[in-house]
Each structure stands twice: as C-alpha cells, then as structure tokens.
C-alpha cells in the first residue's frame, strides 16, 4: 500500500514542476533544431559562394575574356551555394514547424495522461475480471 502513498506527491509534481520542465524541454528541442540545421548561419550566408570558392578577376581591366570567365564561375558558385543552403533551410523549416505544431498536443497529452492511464488501467482490470466470468 505504501506504493500508493506516492500518488498525491506525483500528481502535484506532474501538474507543477513536471509541466514546466516538459515545456522547457520542448523549447530546448526547438533551440536544438535551430542549432542542428544551422538556420542563423545559413540565412546570413545564403548568397555566398559555395565553400568560398571563387575565381580572381585578375589585374587587367581589358582582359575581358578572363573577367567574363571569372564572372561566370563566381555566379555559378553563388547559385550552387544558394541552392544547397535553401534545401537545408527548407528541411529545417519543416522540422521546426512540426515541433511547434506537436508541442501543444504533447502538453495537452501530458495534462490528460494521468486520467488516461487511470482509465486504461481500470478498463484493463475490468476487462480481465469480466473475462474470468
């Protein structure tokens, strides 16, 4: 019976500290996703060349061929950089959106969980007993 002594302590914890800690953990998860998908860094360097690869324009202003080829290379590098970064950003965006969507559901679930558990437990025991009869 001693075991059931825990119930009031548990319920108190579940709706006070338990709830706040869960919400904090959900927030942590969003912070983690921002870190994992490098959102800030990718946004700041969205149009930078891919891996800082670039061609020099040279010192001569009249060497049009060189300038043109360098220009083409550099534009391509920036386009490649943009495409790759956007892809990662997109995945990250969906992940964060998912978390933001599921967080309230989880919180509601947490609030209902003791009741759900109780109902299921009683249901299971009841089902077992009726089966016996």
Partner 1 sequence: MNYYKLQEYKKDVYPGIILDEILSYRFRKVMRKILLLLTCVSIIALLIPSQFLGSHLFLLRAVFMLFLCMYVGLILLEAMYRSCYFKKNKVDIRVLRILNTSKKNNDLTTLFLNHELGQYVMYRLGYAQSDIMDFLNTKKDIVTRHEFEIIENDDNEVSFAEFGYSLAHFDSDLSQFLRTHGVTVGDFKQTLEWVARMDQAIKEQERWWTLDNLLRIPSIGKSLAFGQVYNLERFGHNIVRDTAYVQLGEKWRTYKTSVRKLEAVLSKSVGGNILLTADAAYLTLDAIASLGKEIMQGTVLSNLENKRIYVLDVNILISSYGEKSEFETMFQTVLHEAAYAGNVILAIPNFGDFVQNTHSLGVDVKDIIREALQSSRLQVIATASERSFHEVLETDLDLMTHFEKLQLNEFDSYQAISILQQEVLYAENREHVFFTYQAVKRIVESADRYFAETSLLDKSVDILNEIIPVVKQQGEFVITQEHVDALVTSKTGISLGKISRDESKKLSNIAAEMKARVIGQDSAVEAVCEAMLRARTGLANPKRPLASFLFVGPTGVGKTETAKALAALFFKDEENMLRSDMSEYSDAEAVPRMIGDAGHVGVFASKVRQQGHGVLLLDEFEKASPDVHDLFLQIIDEGFFTDGRGEKVMMRNFIIIATSNAGSDLFALHVGTPVHKQEIVDHIISKHLLRSELLNRFDDVIVFESLLAHDTLLSIAHISVSKLVERLDRRGITLKETSELLQYLVKVGTNPVFGAREINRVITRELESKIAQALVLGDLFEGDTISFVVSSGEIEIQKYS
| Footprint on residues 70-99 left by partner 1 (CB under 8 A) | 81, 84-85, 88
69 binds partner 1 (CB under 8 A): no
From residue 101 to residue 120, the character string flagging contacts with partner 1 as x (rule: CB under 8 A) and all else as - is ------------x---x--x
User: CA–CA separation, 8 vs 22, rounded Å?
Assistant: 19
DSSP structure class, residue 49: P
2 binds partner 1 (CB under 8 A): yes
* Coil vs helix vs strand at 47: coil
Instruction: Calculate the CA 100 to chain-centre distance.
Output: 8
**Which helix (H) or strand (E) covers residue 108, if one does?**
helix 64-132
User: CA–CA separation, 114 vs 10, rounded Å?
Assistant: 10
Q: List interacting residues with partner 1 (CB under 8 A).
A: 2-3, 5-6, 9-10, 12-14, 17-18, 21, 25, 28-29, 31-32, 35-38, 41-42, 44-45, 48, 50-53, 81, 84-85, 88, 113, 117, 120-121, 123-125, 127-128, 131
């Amino acid at each position: 019976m001693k075991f059931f002594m825990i119930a009031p302590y548990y319920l108190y914890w579940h709706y006070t500290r338990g709830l706040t800690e869960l919400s904090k953990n959900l927030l942590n998860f969003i912070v983690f996703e921002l870190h994992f998908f490098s959102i800030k860094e990718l946004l700041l360097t969205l149009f930078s060349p891919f891996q800082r690869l670039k061609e020099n324009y040279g010192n001569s202003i009249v060497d049009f061929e060189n300038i043109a080829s360098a220009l083409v290379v550099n534009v391509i590098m920036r386009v490649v950089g943009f495409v790759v970064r956007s892809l990662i950003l997109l995945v990250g965006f969906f992940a964060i959106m998912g978390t933001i969507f599921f967080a309230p559901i989880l919180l509601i679930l947490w609030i209902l969980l003791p009741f759900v558990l109780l109902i299921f437990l009683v249901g299971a025991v009841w089902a077992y007993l009726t089966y016996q009869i």
